[in-house]
Amino acid sequence: MNSDGNILVFNSGSSSLKFQLFEMDAITPASRVRGVVRNLGDDAICEWLSRGKREHTSVSAYDHGTAARYVLELLEHITDAGQPLLHTITAMGHRIVHGGDTFTAPILLTSRALTALDALSPLAPLHNPPALAVVRACQEHLPDIPMAAVFDTAFFHELPDYVRAYALPAEWREGSRPIRRYGFHGLAHRYMVEHFSTIHPTNTPSSRLITLQLGHGCSVAALRDGHPLETSMGFTPLEGLIMATRPGDVDIGVVLHLLEGAEVTASELSEGLNHRAGLLGLSGASADMEELLALEARGHSGAHLAIEAFCHRARKYLGAYLAVLGGADAILFGGGIGEHAPEIRARICAGLNWCGLELDTQANEAAAPDGEERISTADSRLAAYVIPVNEEALIAQDTRRCLSTALV
């Protein structure tokens, strides 16, 4: 198995499929093509960037497997020196959200591994099955190409026991599928930490960092010496910050009340918590932060409520994690909202002067989404940065290491 050459990475979201083809001959992966199939269903669109040219087209892709097959066909038609890029692929890497307690490092995707991953699907029903559908579509199309799985939960596997444990009866916590806090967005948080250490080597390995991954899903983590001590997501990606369509922290009594009153069924509850809560539920208008900011500017009360609640929850977690770490050296923002919404960054950081954070208003407004930027003043005791996250690059590197190990 050749671990260099070109590695194709698939990153499955709940309603989208990101992809990126990397040339791996250099130490740092070089992107040759990157894109996304978004809005899976009737209105699916594929957008991609190749050789500096951006293109897009409507796609008939109702599920992730179909989207993956379309991407593979697309790479058959994109050529380099007369050779289809599809034929240059020597390995593939796949992001799998939930590895449970079984998978805590990248693995080679064998038939036995896929069977074990199928058994974990109930832990992440919105994420694992679509990702596995992508894997199987790729195996059908390119049966001789080795593939690796990289897990979002792996980064948080070594959280302290007192952080991982829920205060629940032992028979619930210690069953065949242990109920505990797993943490998610591990690749994003790990990318921010590792990238920050490359641009600030003097702060490693003793730095205390708080990382905020703010996108459709949102989470925050507290890290010391590059190792996570806390994170906001738990047994599922529902816990923690307010997200686009997920509520974050909710009194479990609300769930009991709805179920015991027969107001909703379990399936209706799951659908509501995953798809109709969060920013969408609070605003009654949109799950998209850019749209909400525009609505708020026009006086929409629901949009204002959603944005204020979103920023308050993030600021509350920042304060808690400053206490966990005993202070911090830097706060890092990543994700679609974290990288593209300076107003949200400013509102989250508002009132944090007490802990030494002085935001540079001009730098925050000017921060470009394609490169890391310091957005705190030069003399701010607590630094703040925007770190654009590239999960696919991390997956490609992990895939190369995984396959290299398999060769030994």
* Same domain membership, residue 366 and residue 226: yes
Residues 6+ apart with CB under 8 A from 272: 264
pLDDT of amino acid 307: 98
Taking residues 298-313, what's their average pLDDT? 98
In a domain, 402, yes or no: no
* Same domain membership, residue 140 and residue 233: no
DSSP of 299-343? T-HHHHHHHHHHHHHHHHHHHHHHHHHTS-SEEEEEHHHHHH-HH
Annotated ligand binding at 338? The verdict is yes
- In angstroms, rounded to a whole number, what is the distance separating the alpha carbons of residues 277 and 234? 18
pLDDT over 60 (residue 3)? no
* Same domain membership, residue 213 and residue 142: no
Q: How confident is the model at residue 175 (pLDDT cuts 50, 70, 90)?
A: confident
In a domain, 28, yes or no: yes
* Same domain membership, residue 296 and residue 222: yes
pLDDT over 60 (residue 299)? yes
pLDDT of amino acid 203: 56
Annotated ligand binding at 339? The verdict is yes
In a domain, 188, yes or no: no
pLDDT over 90 (residue 4)? no
pLDDT over 60 (residue 408)? no
Q: Could you give the dihedral angle defined by the CA atoms of residues 57, 62, 67 and 70, in that order, rounded to the nearest 10 degrees?
A: -60
CATH of the domain at 296: 3.30.420.40
In a domain, 404, yes or no: no
Q: How confident is the model at residue 144 (pLDDT cuts 50, 70, 90)?
A: very high
In a domain, 181, yes or no: no
Annotated ligand binding at 337? The verdict is yes
* Same domain membership, residue 52 and residue 142: yes
* Same domain membership, residue 201 and residue 91: no
Residues 6+ apart with CB under 8 A from 373: 363, 366, 367, 385, 386
Which three-class secondary structure state does DSSP give residue 349? helix
Residues linked to residue 47 through DSSP beta bridges, in sequence order: 36, 56
Q: Could you give the dihedral angle defined by the CA atoms of residues 341, 18, 274 and 314, in that order, rounded to the nearest 10 degrees?
A: -30
Annotated ligand binding at 35? The verdict is no
* Same domain membership, residue 203 and residue 113: no
Angle, vertex CA 274, rays to CA 268 and CA 280, nearest 5: 105
Q: Which of 17-31, 280-294, 344-358, 369-383 has the lowest mean pLDDT?
A: 17-31
* Same domain membership, residue 145 and residue 284: no
pLDDT of amino acid 303: 98
Annotated ligand binding at 141? The verdict is no
Q: Which domain holds residue 213?
A: 197-386
Which three-class secondary structure state does DSSP give residue 258? helix
pLDDT over 80 (residue 287)? yes
Taking residues 139-164, what's their average pLDDT? 96
* DSSP designation for 205: T
What are the residue ranges of helices labelled H in 161-240?
161-164, 170-173, 186-199
Q: What is the CB neighbour count within 10 angstroms for residue 33? A: 20
What share of the chain has pLDDT > 90, as a percent? Answer: 82
pLDDT of amino acid 244: 95
Q: What is the CB neighbour count within 10 angstroms for residue 56? A: 12
Q: b or e along 293-329 (b: 16 or more beta carbons within 10 Å of the residue's beta carbon)?
A: bebbeeebebbbbbbebbbebbbebbeebbeebeebb
Predicted confidence (pLDDT) per residue in 339-375, tens digit: 999 999 999 999 999 999 999 999 999 998 778 999 9
Annotated ligand binding at 94? The verdict is no
Predicted confidence (pLDDT) per residue in 58-85, tens digit: 998 999 999 999 999 999 999 887 899 9
pLDDT over 80 (residue 324)? yes
Predicted confidence (pLDDT) per residue in 184-227, tens digit: 999 999 999 999 988 887 655 558 999 999 999 999 999 999 99
Q: What is the CB neighbour count within 10 angstroms for residue 250? A: 13
Annotated ligand binding at 11? The verdict is yes
Q: What is the CB neighbour count within 10 angstroms for residue 111? A: 8
What are the residue ranges of helices labelled H in 224-288?
252-260, 266-275, 278-283
Average pLDDT, the chain: 93
* Same domain membership, residue 365 and residue 252: yes
Structurally, how many domains does the chain consist of? 2
* Same domain membership, residue 90 and residue 212: no
pLDDT of amino acid 46: 96
Taking residues 242-262, what's their average pLDDT? 94
pLDDT over 60 (residue 23)? yes
Taking residues 31-51, what's their average pLDDT? 92
Catalytic residues: 152
pLDDT over 90 (residue 271)? yes
CA distances from 229 to 38, 115, 151, 162, 324 (A): 33, 32, 18, 10, 8
In a domain, 172, yes or no: no
Question: What single-letter amino acid sits at 290?
Answer: E
* Same domain membership, residue 121 and residue 48: yes
* Same domain membership, residue 76 and residue 223: no
- In angstroms, rounded to a whole number, what is the distance separating the alpha carbons of residues 386 and 240? 21
In a domain, 101, yes or no: yes
Which three-class secondary structure state does DSSP give residue 269? helix
Pairing of strands 53-58, 45-50: antiparallel
pLDDT of amino acid 202: 67
In a domain, 270, yes or no: yes
User: E strands within 168-244?
Assistant: 208-214, 218-224, 227-231
